[in-house]
A and B are shown apart, each in its own frame.
Chain A
């Protein structure tokens, strides 16, 4: 049986195709104001990798904050439920999932079967969102990989106090004007985002083991800051952490057929 999951996020669209529980195709594309074009591109890539046509798909489930903007799916599932279900398959030891998407951050406490026990989502305030980290990396004129690596070079703790991403950005500008070393600024930004994520995570009570997923999860600086803030030695980051939501949706689509 072949099913698929589609995650229409604020910045990117991800598609995962499953055949008998195994991933056979993945595709991702960056979405602009219109999500349709990116959805089509993500599908083309995933289908090409899977070597199948769309007609062969038995069921398609969608997740993501912009899923209502696109068509071509059978049912929808929330990001929280999709993340938890996928993580229970990827690593059944995980009890807390932190998802740093472009638009919002989520903290999920779950059981071994992927049932959500408690969840928290950052609401109107965008602080904690991956888009902020990306914008700051651009401001530092480095790639996301370099941003993480630079952050690890710093041993200083410079607080960024503003809760709001816009005000936080103005604090970063002040640091630049003060000629603060770039590694210290990168670490300050990661620490600030980690601080907000940790605060949200504590709302659901962090239970080990902890996983970090979403577009910003591969940032080494953010991983390091989170480990410090959460007081944990181990932070699980799956391969392709940005695909977890789509993977979860595909799994749930498959389960709906059994």
Chain B
């Protein structure tokens, strides 16, 4: 009998169904005469939504390959080897290598050949991502377009309003250029109404995910991070769709109900930690192992921010769910107004993008904010060799947390490439870390 009552989450099957459906729709899109757009999933999904299109996002696809590779190495190791045979080195982004390998092997994880996109649309936010889809386009022989931008600096940097205005104007210009470019390469008229709806839904879906994360402040936590992986992915894959808004509305209701009734994600929760960076997708057992000590990951800057819209509240000196247009009393009527709002949303509220570009100080403050407000007892950092973007500054973060007397452990690995991960050593390190915290395995 555990300390807390647990129950399966009802939205679980819905999340799985939605996730599977998007990959299946991508597979069928060509035959149905639909546009397929590929790119990194941070590529402003509402932007190509002025068309009836399916979006194939590279990072979740890579994560799925890594997870599936546990049972079928040919879809993970096989893709890595295909990329390596084409001389893409092992120190590149692991998701990128999986996508290139999958394309070169002409094999789609979800069945059939690799779905050739109509065009690739990418943002210049991560160095690897910027080159990733340029390479894909070269191999596929399809058009490529990149949207260039720099997110606002963290609030710790006191960025000038004029600097923000210039960044916003620049991004709006880039978005409008991208729309013109899409009309040119598809030969089809862009539908502003669809775009405006998509901007509204993307902002609403990401606001709702942030609200879901807020519920997890409660003790016991209603979600562990393994659950979050299955839930945040909906926004990653389809946040510009009404289905995502509906899903998160339902999930938020369920989480609030669980919170009210004291339903826990982990029956023996006794050590709440924050996990930094993506996990090794092929070794999620690490989280199960931690549960033996009553240790539960209740979130991460990554899991919160990848799919969440977060606004800094100077009065409370914390980040809170950002208000989408309707909640802020704004009606988007034109393409330009939608671009203006969307640019602000990306630059100001997509906090994960900031941590890829700006000084560690802001991320340190955000981590500390999460630790304090989500009542975490420590942090476990995955020194992720598969993602340069999220691994940047991790050792400085480790030092910062130790200075704050927050227990912190690091382990080396790779989000997708199991050849760079040593499970036994990681478990041994967890044993040691738990021992230093006087935590024993629960019987």
A residues neighboring B (CB under 8 Å): 65, 77-81, 115-121, 123-124, 203, 205
Contact = CB atoms under 8 A, between A and B. Distances in A.
Contact of B420 (A65, A80, A81, A124): A124
B436 A81 contact: yes
A219 to B, nearest CB: 25
A116 B422 contact: no
A120 B412 CA distance: 11
A124 B428 contact: no
Interface residues of B, number: 17
B401 to A, nearest CB: 10
A123 B420 CA distance: 10
Contact of B422 (A118, A123, A203): A123
Contact of A119 (B411, B420, B425, B436): B436
B395 A78 contact: no
A116 B411 contact: no
Contacts of B410: 120
B429 interface: yes
Contact of A81 (B398, B412, B422, B435): B435
Interface in B377-430: 395, 398-399, 402, 408, 410-412, 420, 422, 425, 428-429
Nearest to B437: A116
A78 B432 contact: yes
15 contacts: A65-B428, A77-B435, A78-B428, A78-B432, A80-B435, A80-B436, A118-B408, A120-B410, A121-B425, A123-B411, A123-B422, A124-B422, A203-B395, A203-B398, A205-B402
A118 B402 CA distance: 8
Nearest to B398: A203
Given A81-B432, A121-B429, A124-B412, 11 more contacts: A65-B428, A78-B431, A78-B435, A80-B435, A81-B435, A118-B402, A119-B432, A121-B425, A123-B425, A124-B420, A124-B425
Contacts of A203: 395, 398
B432 A79 contact: yes
A121 B408 CA distance: 14
Interface string B24-55: 00000000000000000000000000000000
Most buried by A among B398, B402, B408, B432: B432
Contacts of B420: 124
Interface string B214-255: 000000000000000000000000000000000000000000
Nearest to B383: A123
Contacts of A78: 428, 431-432, 435
Contacts of A115: 436
A218 B299 CA distance: 45
B197 to A, nearest CB: 48
A116 B422 CA distance: 23
Contacts of A77: 435
A119 B434 CA distance: 12
A98 to B, nearest CB: 16
Interface string B338-377: 0000000000000000000000000000000000000000
Nearest to A106: B432
Contacts, number: 36
Interface string B94-123: 000000000000000000000000000000
A120 B425 CA distance: 12
A232 to B, nearest CB: 20
Contacts of B429: 121
A11 B329 CA distance: 69
A203 B436 CA distance: 17
A198 to B, nearest CB: 15
A220 B398 CA distance: 33
Contacts of B408: 118
B135 to A, nearest CB: 28
A181 to B, nearest CB: 36
Task: Enumerate the 5 nearest inter-chain pairs by beta-carbon distance, A residue then B residue, closest first.
Answer: A78-B432, A116-B436, A123-B412, A80-B432, A78-B435
A98 B255 CA distance: 47
B377 to A, nearest CB: 16
Nearest to B411: A123
Contacts of B399: 205
Contacts of B398: 203
A118 B436 CA distance: 9
Contacts of B411: 123
A77 to B, nearest CB: 7
Contacts of A120: 410
A227 B358 CA distance: 37
A77 B434 CA distance: 11
A123 B423 CA distance: 11
A200 to B, nearest CB: 11
Nearest to B430: A78
Contacts of A116: 436
Contacts of A79: 432
Contacts of A119: 432, 436
A183 B220 CA distance: 61
Nearest to A204: B402
Nearest to A120: B410
A65 B432 CA distance: 11
B118 to A, nearest CB: 42
B439 to A, nearest CB: 12
Contacts of B436: 80-81, 115-116, 119
A78 B430 CA distance: 10
B309 to A, nearest CB: 35
A80 B432 CA distance: 7
A79 B412 CA distance: 19
A203 B395 CA distance: 8
Contacts of A65: 428
Nearest to B385: A124
A78 B422 CA distance: 18
Contacts of B428: 65, 78
Contacts of A121: 425, 429, 432
Contacts of A123: 411-412, 422, 425
